[in-house]
Structure 1
Amino acid sequence: MHLSTLPAASPVSAMPAVRCIPLTRPLHWLRLAWRDLVRCGWTSLAHGLALALAGAVIVAITYNRFWLLAGAISGFLVVAPVLATSLYALSRALERGETADARVVLKTWLNWQNNHFNKWGNDYWCLVQFGALLALAGTGWVLTSAALITLLAPLPINNPVDFVQHVMLADRGFLFELWLVLGGVLAGPIFASTVITIPLLLDRRLGLLQAVLTSWRAVLANPLPMAFWGALIMALTLLGMATALMGLVLVMPLLGHASWHAYRDLVDASGLPPRDAPDQEAS
């Protein structure tokens, strides 16, 4: 299927070009992701199991404090793109014809750009910086959500049943609608900022700002396909959570692999040096 390419908005060395994609292209990403998941096997599923267990810990700690649970779960999902970094690396390894196993995962987390000569520049720490920014955004949403529910709910919200009765199905007020609107206000910019940023940073050597701006340009160039992709992410995540979090064991690695293929379709980064290429300083 033809993918048209838009020219970069600034010099090629700093800003890669983005492509226009068909509306249903995200379904192709999921098909490719399923292929990657099958080929990687337990290595992919272990990521989903780890994320599901982390979600279970959050639920166990905050179950009787649902005013906190609602924000904590959604805040956890905000940082999920960073936690899926090694899933992108696994898909990249398969694309290159390399072995995609636990060694790729360990290299991603422990030595993700071993050829980088300068360990002190922003370029080396860009993934860490982006992860910290997402963690701050997630924390901000947790605090905002907790404050909103605590201050405006007619009765104390201590468990999911209370949330459904006194927030979602409340006869008076618009607390649930306000909660959803605020969540959407946060989710939109975060989605636009993260949809291909981390795979791009993992794959190519460029600055954090350039990667985030490229992600925004990809979303703005493809509003309907990216809205469809966002809806698929939300639907699959809710499905995974509705199965007592067990579905996340499959859903999270599936979305992680699909995000790599989204990046490959949306961005032409061939003009940028690979992240794992040796530094010119070191040569």
Structure 2
Amino acid sequence: MDASGGLPGVRQVGLLAPFGWLAQGFMDLVRAPVPMLAYGMMIAGVSSGLLYGLYVSDAAFWALTLTFGFVFIAPILAMGPYEAGRRLEAGEQPSLLQVVFVRPAFRQDVAYLGLALLLIYLFWGRIAQIVFGLSTYQMYDTVDAFAAFALTTAEGHNMLLAGTMVGGIIAFFTFTLIVVSAPMLLDPRANVFAATITSFRTVAQNPGPMILWAALIAVLLLASAATGFLALVVVFPWLGLASWRAYRALVAEPEPVPLGAQPA
């Protein structure tokens, strides 16, 4: 701990450090392919199923909202890969059961963080509705009609531009809130207030690397969305493991947290 009110120290890293985190995360994925890819298949299956249901229901607007909103809720879904990264770092091979049921995550502080992300996601959905309503007075009953409006009209272009700008601001705030706080809460000694403050301090002290890290995460998640979320089979556990590596590189701890430690 340092002198910052008992908070853990924050390290400064080089601008290109996020590429190293991705490389380390991929090596961790190779070390534990079965539980990681199985976890990715579950995330991809649920996401693809929701997207397909919205598509066949001609709820194109909500399909677009889900695609962009996934960035907001993904960090809390990655508690499994964080736990796998923690166990791999300790020299233990994680099992699928340990990745799916993360015991240190079953406590109030993680629930509070999840609630905050849910509220941000609902806020984003409301903002998206407002942007859509200000862009057109028509309702589009089919996916093709909505896509034609969004891609071929000036009003549609303005909607996409405004939605991207507002969504980007909300997404970066969410990233700043969550980037190290979610993996940090696997430490039973941490609470949600210390974790979120540490997350903000991390971004403030490493603006260049963290902007690059946010951009890499966004590109990989949006590229996965372009495949109907099927690419999440690999991308999601990869990013989760890389995020654990990022947390360990950025936040100084006096000693590793024992695997058997339980929340207070």
What TM-score do the two structures reach when normalised by structure 1?
0.83
Q: How much does 1:264 deviate?
A: 0.3
1:143-222 equivalence runs, <5 A: 143-153=126-136, 155-172=138-155, 174-222=158-206
2:99 to 105, 109, 127: 105
2:250 paired residue number: 266
1:80 paired residue number: 74
2:13 paired residue number: 21
1:70 paired residue number: 64
Q: How much does 1:218 deviate?
A: 0.5
Greater mean alpha carbon deviation, residues 200-209 or residues 85-94: 200-209
**Structure 1 Cα separation of the partners of residues 163 and 91 of structure 2:** 46
2:42 paired residue number: 50
Instruction: Name the SS for the 1:202 alignment partner.
Output: coil
1:244 paired residue number: 228
Asked whether the equivalents of residues 10 and 251 of structure 2 are also in contact (C-alpha less than 8 Å), the reply is yes
Greater mean alpha carbon deviation, residues 145-154 or residues 81-90: 145-154
**Structure 2 Cα separation of the partners of residues 179 and 262 of structure 1:** 29
**Structure 1 Cα separation of the partners of residues 129 and 118 of structure 2:** 16
2:115 paired residue number: 132
Letter paired with 2:111: V
**What whole-Å deviation, never above 9, does each CA across 1:223-278 have from its counterpart, x for those lacking one?**
11111111111111122122232211111111000000000001002279768536
| % identical aligned pairs | 31
Asked whether the equivalents of residues 44 and 87 of structure 1 are also in contact (C-alpha less than 8 Å), the reply is yes
**Structure 1 Cα separation of the partners of residues 105 and 222 of structure 2:** 34
Gaps of 5+ in 2: none
Gaps of 5+ in 1: 1-6, 115-123
Letter paired with 1:125: Q
2:19 is the alignment partner of 1:36: no
Letter paired with 1:88: Y
> Cα RMSD over matched residues?
2.5
Asked whether the equivalents of residues 18 and 246 of structure 2 are also in contact (C-alpha less than 8 Å), the reply is yes
> In 2 relative to 1, CA 179–56 (structure 1 residues): closer, same or farther, beyond 3 Å?
same
What TM-score do the two structures reach when normalised by structure 2?
0.89
**Structure 2 Cα separation of the partners of residues 106 and 51 of structure 1:** 11
Asked whether the equivalents of residues 67 and 150 of structure 1 are also in contact (C-alpha less than 8 Å), the reply is no
Asked whether the equivalents of residues 18 and 218 of structure 1 are also in contact (C-alpha less than 8 Å), the reply is yes
Asked whether the equivalents of residues 195 and 215 of structure 1 are also in contact (C-alpha less than 8 Å), the reply is yes
> In 2 relative to 1, CA 156–100 (structure 1 residues): closer, same or farther, beyond 3 Å?
same
- Number of residue pairs the alignment of both structures matches: 261
Greater mean alpha carbon deviation, residues 181-190 or residues 96-105: 96-105
**Structure 1 Cα separation of the partners of residues 105 and 51 of structure 2:** 35
Q: How much does 1:77 deviate?
A: 3.0
1:229 to 208, 213, 227: 213
**Structure 2 Cα separation of the partners of residues 202 and 239 of structure 1:** 29
Instruction: Name the SS for the 1:263 alignment partner.
Output: helix
> In 2 relative to 1, CA 171–273 (structure 1 residues): closer, same or farther, beyond 3 Å?
closer
1:141 paired residue number: 124
